[in-house]
Structure 1
Amino acid sequence: MRRRGIGTVVRRRLALRPGRVVLVDREGTLRAGDLLDLVRLRRATPGSSPHSVPLGLADLPATAPLRQVLVTALAADGELLLRSSGTTLGQPRLQRRGPLSAKQLVMLLDLARRVGLRPGRTVASAAPGVHGHGLQVALGALGLGAVLVDLSHLPSRPRIELLHRTSPDLLTGVPVHLSDVLTADLEHAAKRSLRIPHVISGSDRLDDELRADLARRFRARVHDVYGTSETGSLTVDGKPLRGVRIRESDGLLHVRSPFTAGREIVTDRGKVTARGRVVVQGRADGQISSGGMLHHPHEVAWLLHERPGVRAAQLRAVPDARFGLRTIAEVEIGELPAGVDPPTAEELRALIHDRLGPAAVPRQILLSTRED
C-alpha cells in the first residue's frame, strides 16, 4: 500500500464533503471547500512576494491562528517541517515528518480512540497550532472528520463565549492553557453550566488539583497524554499506546515508538510500575518546562554573561502556580567599561526574550552590585 502524507490524507477527506464546517474561530466558520481553496492558492503562490505567508510551519509566528497553520500544513508536499523541542535528541532542530506508516497510523488511531476523538465531534483547542500538541490535534481532528474550535490567542471573555457557543465534545491544551480556560469560565460564564465529556492535557505535567477542578467544573473525563515531539504521543493516563515500548533503567525512560525508526531513545526521568503504568518524574536533560514551553537555564546564564558589566549570573527554578515552574535570575553587576551604563532588569528581560524566546524569560531578575 502506498504511504501518503498526512496533508494528502486530510485534503482528500476535506474534498469528500466541501460544504462541511471544519473550523470555528474569531473570524467565523470555515468550510472544507473554502479551506481547500486557501490551500490551493497557497500551493500556487509559495513565497511569491515579501507579503506572502511563510513557507513552512517552522517560519510561522507564535501567534499564528489555527486556520493559517492548517493552510500551511496542508500545502506541504508529502512532509511537514517542524521544529523539535530538543528534549530527547539534543538541541532543538528542524524535524521532517513524512508519510505515515501503517504502524504510525495504528498508534494515532489508538490515541484518538482513548481520548474520545470520533468523526463528527467538536474539538476545542486552546493549544497554539504552531506547537506540536495543537498541530497534532488539529490534523487528527480534520482527518477523522471532526470540527475544530480555535480558542488560542483569544482574550478570556471571547474565548468563553466561543466555547459556550460551540459546546465542544473535547477540550485540549497544555495544563496552563486549560487552567486559563477554567479560570475564565468561572469568571465569565456565571451560572451557565457547560458539559465537556473529554478534557485532554499534554506537553507538560498535569497537577492533580487542576485535574480534579477540570473534571468537576466540566463534568469531564480528564486524560493526561505524555509524549515528545521526537517520539510522538506515548501514553494516555500512563498506559502506552499501541506500538509503543517503554522500559525503565536507572530512573530513566527508554522509549521505542513507530516514530523513532526502530531506535530506543531516552526521554525523561520516570518509572514503570508493576502494572505497566508509566510515571514521568521530571526532565532528563536539565531543561525547564514552563507552561509546556522549554528552555535551558544555562543558556540564559550564558547569554546574560555576554552583556558588558555582568560579572556573574545564575538561575534557580521556583514553583509557579500558573506555569508549574519559573526561574529567578540573580545577576551580579561588576566593573563597567567606560561609557557603558549598567543593565536594567527590563533590558535584560528584553534581551532574553529576543534571543531565546518568551519561555526563557525569568519571573524575576534580581540585580546586585559588587565593587572590588
Structure 2
Amino acid sequence: MNRGPIVPALDPPASGEQAPALFAGGEPLSRSGLVARVETCRRAHGADDPARPIPIVAEATSDTVVEILAALEDGPPRLLLHPRWSEAERAAVTRRATAAPVPPDEAIALLVPTSGSSGRPRAAKLSRAALRAAIAASAAHLGTMPDDVWLCPLPLAHLGGLMIPLRAVAAGRPVAFLERRGGEAFAPAFIDAVGRHRVTLTSLVPALLHRLLDEAPRWRPPGHLRAVLVGGAAATPERLRAAWARGLPVLATYGLTETCGQVVTETPGTPPAKDGSVGRALPGVEVRVGSGGRIEVRSPTIFSGYHPPPGDGGGCRRLPDGFLRTTDLGRVGPDGRLVVLGRADGVIVTGGEKVHPEAVEAALLTHPAVRDAGVVGLSDTTFGQVVAAGVVLERGATTLAAIEAHARRRLGQAARPRVLRALPALPRTPTHKLDRRALAALLRGARGEDEGV
C-alpha cells in the first residue's frame, strides 16, 4: 500500500479534530470528518482494478476532494472530467482514457485531460510522488502561516484549481470553495468569500482578475489576503500592476498540467515586473530555454507521460537529460527570471515574419478603451497568414479606427492586425482561457472567408 503524506497531515491533536478542513456547499467539513471520509472512500475502492481509471466529474464539492485524496494514497487513478463538458464530451474522453490499462507500478494518482494543439484532450498521468513534490515546492515558496485559509475559485478539473485544496489539506489549513448563487457576478461572490472566510491565499486566471478589477473598481482587499497567484494564461504587466496598485498581492506564476502546476512564481511581496517576467523557478525546479526557444523544465513534479500516448507525437516531451520540453516559448534572463512569450504552436507566420499573438494582445490592451483582446492567424493567399484581432471595448469609449492607430504606434508592420473586429465578448474555454479556434471562426466569418486557419 502506497500511503502518502497528504491525509496523514490532517491527523490533528484531539483539540483540533473539529477544526474545519473544507467549506463547500453549506456546512463545513471538519478535519476528522475529512479523514474518515477519505478512509471510507479508500475501502470502497479497495477491490477495484488498480489499472483501470475511475472517471469522476470534478465538481467543486467535498466528494471530489475526498476522491482525489483517496487516489493520492492508493487504489485506481481518478480521471477528472470537467463539469461543464457535455455528456458526449465526457464519454469520449472516458473511452479514450480507459481503453488501455494504467501500469500500477507507475503509482498514478490522477489522469488530467489537457488539450494539445489539435484541440483533442489527452490525459496527463500525474503520479503521487509528483503531486507531493508540487505541493512541497509551493509551500516552500509561499510559506505557511497559522491563520492561512485558501479560497478555490477555479475548476477542480484543471491544475490551477486542483492544487488549491491539496496545498491546504497538506498544510492542515482550511479551504473554501467559491459559491455563486444563481446569476451572481464573479466579483461580489469573490469579495464576500474573502471577507467571510478571512482568506489569505487564492489563485486566479487573468480573465477572472480582469473581471474582479472591472466589476469592483472601488474594492480594496483586506490585509489578511497575502497572495493571489495569477496563472493559467498570460496576464499583461499593465493589468498586474493595476491590480497591485489596488492592493491586490498578485504573484505571476507559470506552470502546466504536465508539471503538476506552478514551477515558476514571483517572490511574495514583490511588485509585478515591468518586463512581463513571472519570477524564478521554485525550490527543486530547474528552468532553461532550449532549441527553438522552447521552455524546458526539470523537476520531481514532472508528469509520467500521456495516457494513451498521443498518435500525433504532440504535447510535452521528456529529453534524455531529464528536462521536459514544453510547448511554450520563453527566455530566461541573467538573473534567472522567466519571460513567457507564448505557445510555440500559436506563432503566426505572416510574410515570413513570426508574430507572437500574446505580444499583440498585450499591445492592444495598453489602450484604455480595450477591455479584452484576442489574436489569431487567418489564412491568406498572399502572406500565408495575417494577424487578426478581436477586441472588447468599453461601451462608447472609442472607435476601431482609434484602436488601429494605437496598434500602428505600438507594433511593427508585421504584427499589426490586418483584421480587427469589435466583439461583445471573447470566446473562452471552461477554464477561462481564450478559445483561439472559436475566435478564429468568428473573425473568419467577419472577414467573409471560408478558408482554414
Determine the structure 2 residue equivalent to 1:11: 7
Unaligned runs of 5+ residues in structure 2 are 46-52, 75-107, 267-278, 305-320, 348-356, 362-375, 380-384, 394-418, 420-426
Residue 234 (structure 2) pairs with residue 205 (structure 1)? yes
Relative to the length of structure 1, the TM-score reads 0.67
Aligned to 1:235: 264
* Counterpart position of 1:178: 209
Note if contact 2:200-2:227 (Cα within 8 Å) is conserved in structure 1: yes
Question: In structure 2, do the counterparts of structure 1 residues 10 and 152 end up closer, same or farther at CA, with 3 Å as the change threshold?
Answer: farther
How far 1:175 sits from its partner (Å)?
Answer: 1.6
**Partner AA of 2:323 in structure 1:** E
Kindly report the root-mean-square deviation, in angstroms, between the aligned alpha carbons of the 2 structures: 4.2
Task: Report Cα offsets for 1:1-38 as digits up to 9, x if no partner.
Answer: x9644xxx222222324311112245242212333344
Q: Normalising to structure 2: TM-score of the pair?
A: 0.56
Are the aligned partners of 2:56 and 2:64 in contact in 1 as well (CA < 8 Å)? no
Aligned to 1:98: 127
Q: Which amino acid in structure 2 is aligned with residue 13 of structure 1?
A: A
Alignment partner for residue 133 of structure 1, among 156, 160, 164?
160
Q: Deviations over 1:73-119 (max 9, x none)?
A: 02325342222425599964223323326xx7566433223234445
Cα deviation, 1:242-287, whole Å, max 9, x if unaligned, reads 2222222332222222133763232211111122211111111339
- Preserved contact between residue 285 and residue 298 of structure 2 (Cα < 8 Å): yes
The unaligned stretches of length 5 or more in structure 1 are 47-54, 291-296, 302-313, 323-329, 331-349
Partner amino acid for 1:160? I
Indicate whether 1:259 and 2:301 are aligned.
Answer: yes
Relative to structure 2, which stretch is displaced further, 265-274 or 156-165? Answer: 156-165
1:125–1:171 contact (8 Å) kept in structure 2: yes
Partner of 2:99: none
* Distance in 1 (alpha carbons) for counterparts of 2:439 and 2:144: 37
Residues 193 and 285 of structure 1, relative CA distance in 2, 3 Å threshold: closer
Q: Could you tell which deviates more after superposition, 239-248 or 33-42?
A: 33-42
Aligned to 1:278: 338
**Deviation of residue 358 (structure 1)?**
9.6
SS at match of 2:301: coil
Going from structure 1 to structure 2, the CA distance change for 1:23 and 1:321 (only over 3 Å counts) comes to: farther
CA distance in 1, matches of 2:126, 2:340: 26
What is residue 171 of structure 2 aligned with on the other side?
Answer: 144
Q: Please report how far the alpha carbon of residue 319 of structure 1 lies from its aligned counterpart in structure 2 after TM superposition.
A: 5.4
1:223 aligns with 2:251: yes
Deviations along 1:323-354, one digit per CA (max 9) or x if unpaired, are xxxxxxx9xxxxxxxxxxxxxxxxxxx9x999
Could you tell which deviates more after superposition, 225-234 or 70-79? 70-79
Q: Is 357-366 or 251-260 further displaced after alignment?
A: 357-366
The 2-side partners of 1:13 and 1:43 are apart by 17
Matched, 1:68 2:63: yes
> Counterpart in 1 of 2:28?
29
1:198-253 deviation digits (Å, cap 9, x = unpaired): 11112111221221232232x24321111111123221122012222222233222
Please tell me the residue identity of whatever aligns with 1:231. Answer: T
Aligned to 1:337: none
In structure 1, give the amino acid aligned to 2:341: Q
Report the equivalent of 1:362: 439
- Aligned partner of 1:293 in structure 2 is none
Maintained 8 Å contact 1:117/1:141: no
Q: Contact 2:18 / 2:31 at 8 angstroms: preserved in 1? A: yes
Change (3 A) 1:40 1:25: same
| CA gap 1:221/1:158 in 2 versus in 1, 3 angstroms | closer
Work out whether residues 121 and 147 of structure 1, in 8 Å CA contact, stay in contact via their aligned partners in 2: yes
| 1:183 shift after superposition | 3.5
Deviation at 1:138, TM superposition (A): 1.4
Distance 1:224 1:161 in 2: 24
Matches within 5 A, 1:266-305: 266-267=325-326, 268-286=328-346
Q: Please say which of residues 34-43 and 229-238 is displaced more in the overlay.
A: 34-43
The amino acid of 1:67's aligned partner reads S
User: What is the rounded CA distance, in whole Å, between the counterparts of 1:19 and 1:234 in structure 2?
Assistant: 34
Give the direction of change, closer, same or farther, for the CA distance of 1:180–1:358 in structure 2 (3 Å limit). closer
- Amino acid in the other structure paired with 2:57: L
Shift of residue 66, structure 1, vs aligned partner: 4.1
Indicate if the aligned counterparts of 2:116 and 2:122 stay in contact, CA closer than 8 A. no
Q: How many residues align?
A: 304
